[in-house]
Amino acid sequence: MTLSVEERNAILFHRVQKTKDTLHEAKGNIELGFWTTAANRLYYACYYMAGALLIKNGYFAHTHSGVIRLLGQHFISEGIISKELGKFYSQLFELRQTGDYDDWRIIEESDVQVLVKPAEDFIKTVEEIILS
């Protein structure tokens, strides 16, 4: 996929804004006690920011696993993003998958509350890389 600089910047701006809106949604769902939805929104907030980083650098993923793979290949293995944040993102993906598709696993407050700060750290770190 080839995008002009203007198209890439428009998508980038949209993804960053979408990240912020989705993080706000996550926090609202936490306040309401909707733990599965909050985990989903935390994941998507990070996903949108990760996607923005990939697009800024000319990488395009067509799947969630593709985002994880490209993030690992180009940013984590290169030391641009820490292994800890990379591991966190993968774990958040797995929790989102569990919440969305596993009928027998219930996402609880204790699963979600510990994710807010690392999600904010992931988003902040990736945004700083985008802006640098």
* Structure confidence by residue, pLDDT tens digits, 91-100: 999 999 999 9
- Read off the pLDDT band of 3 (50, 70, 90): confident
Query: pTM of the predicted model, to two decimals?
Result: 0.94
7-16 burial, b at 16+ Cβ within 10 Å, e below that, comes to ebeeebeebb
Residue 61 reports pLDDT greater than 90: yes
**pLDDT band at 71, cuts 50/70/90?**
very high
State how far the Cα of 54 lies from the Cα of 75, in Å rounded to an integer.
9
Taking each helix axis from N to C terminus, what angle separates 83-101 and 35-56, rounded to the nearest 10 degrees?
130
pLDDT exceeds cutoff 90 at 82 = yes
Does domain 5-131 sit in CATH 3.40.50.300?
no
pLDDT score at 28: 98
pLDDT band at 66 (very low <50, low <70, confident <90, very high): very high
127 token code pair: 């945004």
> Model confidence over 98-108: pLDDT tens digits?
999 999 999 99
What are the sequence ranges of the domains in the chain? Answer: 5-131
Is residue 1 scored above 80 in pLDDT? Answer: no
Task: Give the pLDDT mean for 55-72.
Answer: 95
Average pLDDT over residues 18-43: 98
